[in-house]
Amino acid sequence: MQLLSLPNLRERDSTLYLHELLEGSEIYLPEVVKPPRNPELVARLEKIKIQLANDEYKRITRNVTCQDSRHGGILSDLGKEVRSVKAVVITIFNFIVTVAAAFVCTYLGSQYIFTEMASRILAAVIVASVVGLAELYVMVRVMEGELGEI
């Protein structure tokens, strides 16, 4: 087999093309030798992995309490549930009172603008709807914030 180099080809004034030169050729790559791992580095990496696993475990379980139902009893759970139901009932009552007050104020205040009953009721319904939607928006934002803290 003859070694083809650029100077040899120029001397012969040959018209060989690259694809003809590469035809039937092979690429020989040396075997990659992996260096041995440093034992200090391996030990340090293991410590870091363990620390990260512990941090992840603490993050996941930060809201989990180890109270047994036998120690706290059912009454402590009942108290928590009553407080949460009480907060929801107060929120719903506040929503209803706010929307009703907006309706009544608009109905009574619009008697100076509109003389017909239908126009006054329509204006009151529109204002009460806007106030109700605003109240719902605020309630959703507050609930979203409380759920994010849990």
Tell me how far apart the alpha carbons of residues 83 and 139 are, in angstroms, rounded to a whole number: 18
Looking at residue 116, the DSSP 8-state letter turns out to be S
| Residue carrying structure tokens 């100077």 | 7
Q: What is the pLDDT of residue 6?
A: 67
**Is the CB of residue 121 less than 8 Å from the CB of residue 95?**
no
pLDDT in tens, 53-67: 999 999 988 877 765
Q: Measuring CA to CA, how many Å separate 38 from each of 35, 44, 46, 50?
A: 9, 10, 12, 19
Q: Considering only CA atoms, which of 133, 129, 137 is closest in space to residue 102?
A: 129
Residue 79 amino acid letter = G
Question: Which among 146, 100, 148 has a CA at the least distance from the CA of 127?
Answer: 100
Ranges of beta strands (E only) in the chain are none
- Tokens 């020989």 -> residue: 28
Q: Are 110 and 77 in contact (CB under 8 A)?
A: no
pLDDT of residue 41: 94
User: How high is the pLDDT of residue 74?
Assistant: 65
Kindly list the averaged pLDDT for each block of 10 residues, start to end, along the chain of length 150.
64 71 83 90 96 94 68 68 86 95 95 92 96 93 71
Give the CA distances from residue 30 to residues 27, 33, 93, 105, in Å, rounded to whole numbers and listed in that order.
Answer: 10, 9, 79, 88
